[in-house]
Structure 1
């Protein structure tokens, strides 16, 4: 006599995935302090969980000097790159997790320490310029792993970020951005690795009706032969995605809405690999 037993194991797990706390203080109409702290998985112990200070800066409004629509941030600031890095929590995007293209291409969430100037040029055009600390890789060209996260970070390799943003059409944003790294190498005596990121995006996110997002960008690394990135394909990195969506207003006391979205994207963090074969 034979008997078959089907054993089904169910795993029940509860996890506080992410908690974000934003604290700010306005000293007066021209000077304020802002900070953002994030904790993942409830606590930090034996390599599990994360506790991070993602923003900590003073913001100065230069209107008291007669310079209107111009602000300066001093401290640790989110990088002005792409769509989601500066506004990276739901419901600013569809789904629970951010799109993987920006996660890999723009190293979301990415923050650095420095001085950022933001000024409105008129007609819906805005310019952001940021001088800041740079990436620190081990010569392999891995952009995401190169984030120092302002933990005893080397401040000698200065980097620069520039962004033009147009918001002259209500509900629509166009962006062009560039990041220059003077040296992403963290191995002394092995030679510098300059790197440049170029990208653009469109973000159309109405409260109801048709929406659309698209982003494309590419990294170019100048890798000496002494570094792994000269042969592992990471001298060139690219990524792009599109995301059409539609949102309906369902009203109610909370003015609620519901939406659907579809996303298609591609990326390659070793796009130069074929040239090395």
Structure 2
């Protein structure tokens, strides 16, 4: 079996196990405190306002789509539906409807990733991280190894692995694996404050402008970005900050003082000019004579 056939089989099997009508039985109910979040949950940030709104909906209509859970040595683990589970707790529910499915760690990891990536409400960083985890899952490697592999494949493509990645990213939609590797992997090297802002919703394109700016400007730019500044506005701010400071010309008094201490210039003065200079100095303001100790 080729690697691509293996991936198709994995995705097909995961989808089948995730279906509510699969042969493993109908929905049942479990206490909310009998469930634990998935260790493979790609979502790191749950918007509290959205959770509160979902909790209000659950109080009114109940949970319309049962959670998907599996049995592990830790008990019942949520494979899909952690957001509903959290909102159910806010709503005060004691029990929630669930489908219980038999899933391996690999199945659970891949299903959770695919289910979340096909939603539109992941934060920018969560989406980038989840795609890396999906690549790692289908290649059977760690996330760090997946990063290295993607970078290597952009330089030296391997037909079979590329075919697998192309199929995976077609399922995920929105971008190719090459675009992801060339444009998104660099995010993992960005400063933590920028990543945290992305976890909270800052867009990839705006975050990229901040990350590409000189380090000494990043904190101020990030603050502007969090207040809603656009990419264009941030770029203009960078230009202003990097514009050479306008040299302030010396005042007339400074130029006179500099010239009067120029020995070469003084030596070149003729008798008449020297006499005129002495007469002019004799008329200097009293404040200057006091400063020079001449009064």
Q: TM-score range by the shorter chain?
A: under 0.3
Structure number with higher strand proportion: 1
Instruction: Answer with 1 or 2: which has the greater Rg.
Output: 2
TM-score normalised by structure 2 residue count: 0.22
RCO higher in 1 or 2 (8 Å CA, sep ≥ 6)?
Answer: 2
